[in-house]
């Protein structure tokens, strides 16, 4: 797997997590686990 692809995926996940945390801390935990294990 290309390194650039891995970095991009990690970056996108970080952006999503940051958005969720700022939107709703309670919702953030549940959605985070769904994203990680889907």
Tens of pLDDT, residues 2-30: 777 888 888 998 888 887 777 666 555 66
**N- to C-terminal Cα distance for the chain?**
20
Please count the structural domains in the chain. Answer: 1
Domain span at residue 16? 3-37
C-alpha to C-alpha distance for 10 and 4, rounded to whole angstroms: 10
Residue 38 CA, chain-centre distance (Å), reads 12
> Whole-prediction pTM value?
0.42
Nearest to 20 by CA among 10, 35, 38, 5: 35
Burial class (CB in 10 A: 0-12, 13-18, 19+), 14: exposed
C-alpha to C-alpha distance for 36 and 8, rounded to whole angstroms: 16
């Amino acid at each position: 797997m290309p390194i650039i692809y891995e970095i991009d995926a990690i970056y996108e996940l970080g952006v999503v997590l940051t958005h969720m945390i700022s939107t709703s801390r309670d919702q953030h935990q549940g959605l985070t686990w769904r994203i990680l294990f889907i």
